[in-house]
Amino acid sequence: MKVNFEKLLEKLSKKLETETEPNPMIGATIKTKRKSLDKTLDEVSQRSGVSLSYISKIENDLLNPNFKKIRRVLSELNLNEDIFDYSSNMSEWYSQLLDIMLGLNDDETVMKAFIRKRDDFQSKLIDLALHVKRGSLKHCETHISLLMNSIDQMMPIELGIFMLSIAHYYFMHQSYIQSAKMMDVALQRQLNHKKLILWQDDLLFQLSLLTNNVLYINERFAKLTVLYQNYGLMDKAYDLRLSYHQHMQFIAGPNFYDLDDFDNQIETKKFIFMNQLFCCSKTVVDVITDEPDLKPYNLILALAYDKIENGVKAVYYLEQIDETDMSKHDQILHTYLKHKYQMDDYEAHLKHALFKDPNIYHNDALLSFYGNACMNHYKSQHRYKECVLIQESINRYKHEIRFHFEKIYSK
């Protein structure tokens, strides 16, 4: 079931503008279940013997149901009567869910039992979040479409979980513009739950890495580092720092790195050399070849020789590259070199990267790299009109990046 994304944004914005604490009524659960079974109001009315207008008013929380009367509707929809016992504390369930989402707890057993027992919109909300956490994205849009019917009944914490789950889903789906748009809506209101804030800031940091806005990235990095440390998530804090530097090496100015930044000095040197290669006019070949062991730097050397158009040396170091434990950026650059020197589809690869791969055309640093490579390729063949078209496309993508990913920076 495809999500009507613009309608979803409209409903969420309207909810946030007029937000009140809803009563935990059963209308949203009945409507969500009926929609999931693809049944019309008329069909449920005829089969249950309860009038259509009565069911409609219950679904829209215009009436408190007479339980004896509504029982036939519950039976028709295969809803357990005990799911409407709201004496259970949903706040505790959501706290447990957020622990799982943030890596504070990896045991989903209790959550899965909760989902199996209940069939209301709260259980579907938890199920959506867990699917996103696992990376099981296949049925997420169906969950989102069904939960749209329950937006008006959502408590603030439920609304926060819903919006962040959607933004997280679209990010993992590589639909980065939709993820940024959802975060833009989510930031209309101030989150009060500390774990929701941590989840939100993690997503904002990931989106910031698609930009070349050093100030924005630094602010996101500093804030998220403190939050991770406060929760004792030291492994996440280290991984965060690694992700930060893996991006900053392509956009930071000279002298950005300090050899004491990491325990692994080789890792830091790789950042320094890549930074010099991308952000400085000087070559790094002479500096790297003074190192006692060149194996960690084969990718950088291959890129450096490619930059000075020494294809023989570029191929030599390309063939020496160890592909294990490569970062996402390194994998993309390695793929670029393979298509240029080891395959016969270099131009097709450049076009695919620039127009079909959101990991590249919605990432400022990689967009610049591939854009320059493509224009150099066309210039070497005197195809100057195509250079102009490529430059126009790059400018358009960079505008999208600034508009969508940096827009949330001003919030």
Per-residue pLDDT of the chain (411 residues; tens, 9 = 90+): 688 999 999 999 998 887 654 444 577 778 888 888 899 999 999 998 889 988 888 888 777 666 667 778 888 888 766 555 543 467 788 989 999 999 889 889 989 888 888 888 899 999 999 999 999 998 899 999 999 999 988 888 999 999 999 999 999 999 999 999 999 999 988 787 889 999 999 999 999 999 999 999 999 999 999 999 999 999 999 999 999 999 999 998 877 876 555 566 888 888 889 998 888 766 788 888 888 889 999 999 999 999 999 999 999 999 999 998 899 999 999 999 999 999 999 999 999 999 999 999 999 999 999 999 999 999 999 999 999 999 999 999 999 998 888 777 665
pLDDT of residue 86: 47
Q: Considering the entire predicted model, what is its pTM?
A: 0.81
The reported pLDDT for the residue numbered 258 is 65
Which residue in the block uniquely carries the two structure tokens 């400022």? 364
Task: Note the pLDDT of residue 261.
Answer: 57
Q: Give pLDDT, residue 282.
A: 64
Domain ranges of the chain: 209-251, 252-342, 344-411
Q: What is the pLDDT, as a whole number, of residue 88?
A: 45
